């Protein structure tokens, strides 16, 4: 038996939405490296074609918009037709935009909710049906630190990401009877094209790092590692979890009290 036969995803078939860039592309690359056959869906046909050239026969790209149910249905059907079934769905497509609560247009609000939340619902629905058909599997949804932490200008994005975390929990509850596990990965700041414009502004990365105890930006590969864990048999009893992969950022909303604590008298022994 070769090492590929022993790999965690050997013989498995996966769908990855938003698979042409950033975290999604890192998930596709690692799935192929761990033995899976992958259908990557994205609105960027050019970048999908590049990924196919890079990864070979076990990566197939499908131009698909997650806000269109017909596209999502076709994406999932392609995985089943081409590779013979489905074992895991990774729902990564998403993006930002937005603005102040008082100024954001209804159109823009709906655009963000459609992409980040409805797109995940449609993907879960069609992946879930294919997984049920095959006797079970796993769904991993990518939310964000913003699933629990608000940000300026992020009403639509944060609400959508909180919705993704809840949708995953509803899925974990409802789909368990079909042996389908559903989990969420909530990335912190990750170096991808999505965040590049902001983090390249002078002082912006430093402002983020003040809040991130590990004092560095995460990589798409670190997000992929967490997602592949949750999608694999290693997480066979894990369902309904929201795994924060954020350099401990979620812990740091409290002020740094160390300078103040140092000024207080030490507590009496045994206190």
Ligand X SMILES: NC(=O)c1ccc[n+]([C@@H]2O[C@H](COP(=O)([O-])OP(=O)(O)OC[C@H]3O[C@@H](n4cnc5c(N)ncnc54)[C@H](O)[C@@H]3O)[C@@H](O)[C@H]2O)c1
Site for ligand X contains 142 (CB under 6 A)? yes
Positions annotated as catalytic residues are: 157
Q: Which is nearer to ligand X, 195 or 239 (CB)?
A: 195
CB of 128 to ligand X, least distance (A): 18
Q: Which of 40, 60, 86, 144 binds ligand X (CB under 6 A)?
A: 144
Site for ligand X contains 193 (CB under 6 A)? yes
Q: Which of 21, 159, 168, 184 binds ligand X (CB under 6 A)?
A: 21
Site for ligand X contains 22 (CB under 6 A)? yes
Q: In a 10 Å sphere around its CB, with 0-12 CB exposed, 13-18 middle and 19+ buried, how is residue 57 labelled?
A: exposed
**Cα distance between residue 95 and residue 74, in whole Å:** 22
Partners of 181 in the beta sheet? 138
Q: Which of 27, 32, 86, 92 binds ligand X (CB under 6 A)?
A: 92
Distances (CA, A) of 266 to 12, 182, 255, 256, 259: 58, 47, 20, 18, 13
Distances (CA, A) of 85 to 15, 136, 166, 226: 10, 11, 27, 23
Q: Which of 39, 40, 65, 128 binds ligand X (CB under 6 A)?
A: 65
**Contact positions with ligand X (CB under 6 A) in 32-51:** 41-44
Site for ligand X contains 187 (CB under 6 A)? yes
Q: What does the block give as tokens for 184? A: 């969420």
Question: Of 65, 114, 120, whose CA–CA distance to 91 is shortest?
Answer: 120
Interface residues toward ligand X, by CB under 6 A: 17-18, 20-24, 41-44, 65-67, 92-95, 115, 142, 144, 187, 189-190, 192-195
């Amino acid at each position: 038996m070769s090492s590929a036969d022993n790999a965690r995803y050997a013989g498995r078939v996966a769908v990855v939405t938003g698979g042409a860039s950033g975290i999604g592309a890192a998930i596709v690359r690692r799935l192929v490296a761990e033995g899976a056959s992958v259908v990557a869906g994205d609105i960027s046909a050019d970048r999908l074609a590049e990924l196919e050239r890079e990864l070979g026969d076990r990566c197939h790209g499908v131009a698909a918009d997650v806000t269109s149910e017909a596209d999502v249905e076709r994406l999932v059907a392609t995985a089943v037709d081409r590779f013979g079934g489905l074992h895991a769905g990774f729902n990564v497509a998403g993006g930002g935009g937005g603005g102040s609560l008082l100024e954001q247009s209804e159109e823009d609000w709906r655009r963000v909710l459609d992409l980040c939340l409805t797109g995940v619902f449609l993907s879960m629905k069609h992946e879930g049906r294919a997984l049920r058909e095959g006797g079970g599997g796993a769904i991993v949804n990518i939310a964000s630190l913003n699933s629990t932490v608000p940000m300026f200008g992020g009403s639509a994005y944060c609400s959508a990401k909180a919705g993704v975390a809840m949708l995953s929990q509803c899925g974990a509850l409802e789909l368990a009877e079909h042996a389908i596990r559903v989990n969420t990965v909530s990335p912190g700041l990750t170096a991808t094209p999505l965040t590049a414009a902001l983090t390249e502004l002078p002082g912006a990365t430093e402002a983020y790092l003040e809040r991130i105890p590990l004092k560095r930006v995460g990589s798409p590969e670190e997000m992929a590692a967490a997602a592949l864990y949750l999608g694999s048999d290693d997480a066979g009893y894990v369902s309904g979890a929201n795994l924060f992969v954020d350099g401990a950022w979620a812990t740091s909303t409290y002020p740094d009290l160390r300078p103040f604590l140092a000024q207080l008298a030490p507590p009496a022994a045994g206190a």
